A and B are shown apart, each in its own frame.
Chain A
Amino acid sequence: MKILKIFIILFLSVGFFNLKADEKNDELKNKILKNIRCLICQGQSVYDSESEFASSIKLIVDRKLNEGIKEKQIYEFLREKYGDWVVYKPEINKNTYILWLLPLLLFLIGGAIIYKIISKKNEK
């Protein structure tokens, strides 16, 4: 009877951990799919789209995750095939410097202008 109890507990805990692992895998898959642009759709991610293109990409991502391929490598694979545009969050490289640095630059310039205005007002 005791052995049976241990066996049931072990069986349930293995099932629970498998369920947790599947959940984690699904979360990662959805995260990746939300970051991939559906290139034939208007402003939709692959996650949101039901197009033929999106369904093929979903299968590829699923297959690659099952093969143990990392998130970054999946993005690299897709970038090689479709260019930087396929990923919503582009990597920092020579083509995307302006994209990443311009908001920061504008923020700093804006901050400097506001600071100057405030300090001028205080002087008065």
Chain B
Amino acid sequence: MKSKLSLFIVIIFLSFCFVIFYKGLNNPNIYAPKIEGKKNLPTFKAKNFISSSYLNSEKIFEEDTFYIVNIWASWCVPCRTEHPLLMKLSKNKSVKLIGINYKDNFNNAKKFIDEFGNPYSQIIIDNDGTLSVEFGAYGVPETFIIDKSKKIIRKFIGPINKEIVEEIKLIIK
């Protein structure tokens, strides 16, 4: 009886370990917390890419519309793949795109915009990456959706694709 119980405990323990490790195998390496509910938009002051003047976040997000904040850089290869999709999204009248140029060289960033087009209604500069941290970003590219009540309602890590664009369209409808 005693040996049977010990065997049962060992089997339960091994099964538990197997399930934990098997589940761990399928987990992505990069941890991404789920956005539970809406998050407040950070308040900040940032330099405008074109005019070099400083703008408050209230001024940037002043209109009563949905905003998409996209963190990008000219040195970021995945940013090039998502750029045509952002160009398409920029044609949508019910949303405004704000670009955050992340740790970039001004001339390279300008060349990038001149070459691939400018989908953003405004571009702000984040030279040291601290503004991106205020948004809760890990790096580039990253995209955030801000609703009319100025709350971050969705976050996409990595380049956006057609499925994500469809999801965005459904949200901003």
Contact = CB atoms under 8 A, between A and B. Distances in A.
Interface in A67-110: 80-83, 85
B39 to A, nearest CB: 8
B103 interface: yes
Interface string B145-163: 0000000000000000000
B132 A56 contact: yes
Contacts, number: 38
B136 interface: yes
Interface stretch (B28-36, B89-97, B115-123): B28-36
Interface residues of B, number: 16
Contacts of B78: none
Contacts of A40: 30, 138-139
A13 interface: no
Interface stretch (A26-34, A57-65, A116-124): A57-65
Contact of B129 (A42, A52, A80): A52
A55 interface: yes
A53 interface: yes
A85 B128 contact: no
A52 B73 CA distance: 13
A83 B135 CA distance: 13
A60 B31 contact: no
Given A59-B129, A85-B31, 10 more contacts: A39-B31, A52-B103, A53-B138, A56-B130, A56-B133, A57-B133, A81-B133, A81-B134, A81-B136, A82-B33
